[in-house]
Amino acid sequence: LPIYKCRGLDMKNKYYRINKILNNNAIEILENGTEIIIIGNGVGFNHKVNDYITMKENYKLYTLQNNLLKIQFKALLNEIPFKCIELTQEIIDMAKTDLNRNFNQGLLVSLSDHINFVSKNYLKGYGSYSLVSEEIKRFYHEEYEVGLKALDLINRYYQINLNKKEASAIAFHLINAEFNNNVSKTTSILKSIDDILNIIEANFGLELPEDSLYYSRLVIHLKFFMQRVIKGESDDENFEKLIISAKSDINKKIGITLDSIERYLNEEFDYVLSEAERFYLLVHISRII
């Protein structure tokens, strides 16, 4: 759900007429013909339609792209406690700072729904669950660390003790938000990275050192590479001279490994490696072997 903070609007020191009151903590206004939802503690309390309000620092602003999004977002506001939404926004702001990136704004909906669900289940004695926990920890370490910090915030707020594995589920939502909330693509990328690393290990008969710098660089390369593969975006820059030079000294096992990876990608994604992509993989594999 592409819900996002308003940009390009000077919302301070101005009065805004309330178009709709959604609940005590959410109202709708109109600005230059654009419907804007304002969320803030008590923003709608003791107000009525056509009243005027001024903006406060702690208010969050969102615009909605179409009627379906409007319905879904308003359902969120009515079904999930405001404090949970507020906590989720705090986690998202923390993730943006720690990871230095923006997320698909549907993250507020999906993550607040998840936090509300697992906290309720825990209080009912059902415990929590996690998604692809080990893969998240191995391949998305930074997101997992943010997940751990978010988990601490959730546990302290609800006075519960969710298992650390729940940090992987939170990290999964952060990663998923980068792919327009496409769970299948996110899961496919995680599985494919694991599969390719297994191909490398099998061809060389060794276990890759996960604590090494070269392993980290290889995984980072594979993450961006698999994003392109799934999107069908080939990287085919002109590396002809470099490739010819590299091939003259290439170890046969690396060549066999690259062939195995290419067969895997072709079978799983109907994708053909470009010479540039083959070269990049060659460089990263040769450094770690």
pLDDT tens-digit readout, 217-276: 888 888 888 888 887 776 555 444 444 344 444 467 888 888 899 999 999 999 888 888
> Which has the minimum average pLDDT: 61-70, 133-142, 236-245?
236-245
- For the cut 70, the answer to whether the pLDDT of residue 28 exceeds it is yes
Q: What pLDDT is attached to residue 188? A: 86
Cβ atoms < 10 Å from Cβ of 229 = 22
Record the tokens describing residue 209, joined without a space.
């050192």
Q: Which of 96-110, 189-203, 211-225 has the highest mean pLDDT?
A: 189-203
Q: What pLDDT is attached to residue 1? A: 30
- For the cut 90, the answer to whether the pLDDT of residue 158 exceeds it is yes
Cβ atoms < 10 Å from Cβ of 209 = 10
- Phi, psi (deg, nearest 5) at residue 179: -115, 35
Give the mean pLDDT of the chain.
81
If we measure between CA atoms, which residue out of 50, 139, 21, 150 comes closest to residue 98?
150
Angle, helices 141-158/166-177, rounded to nearest 10 degrees: 120
The Cα–Cα gap between 16 and 28 comes to 10
Stretch 151-168: mean pLDDT, rounded? 92
Q: What pLDDT is attached to residue 238? A: 45
- For the cut 90, the answer to whether the pLDDT of residue 98 exceeds it is yes
The conformation of residue 80, written as its DSSP 8-state character, comes to S
Q: Is the CB of residue 82 less than 8 Å from the CB of residue 25? A: yes
Record the tokens describing residue 223, joined without a space.
């993450």
The conformation of residue 206, written as its DSSP 8-state character, comes to S
Question: Is the backbone of residue 28 left (phi > 0), alpha (psi -120 to 50) or beta?
Answer: beta
Q: What pLDDT is attached to residue 65? A: 66
Stretch 166-177: mean pLDDT, rounded? 89
The Cα–Cα gap between 108 and 273 comes to 36
Residue with the bigger pLDDT between 236 and 117: it is: 117
Q: Is the CB of residue 90 less than 8 Å from the CB of residue 153? A: yes
pTM for the whole structure: 0.72
Contacts of 88 (CB under 8 A, 6+ apart): 108, 111, 112, 115
The Cα–Cα gap between 1 and 89 comes to 15
- For the cut 60, the answer to whether the pLDDT of residue 131 exceeds it is no
Strands (E), 32-74: 34-39, 52-54, 60-63
Residue with the bigger pLDDT between 177 and 170: it is: 170
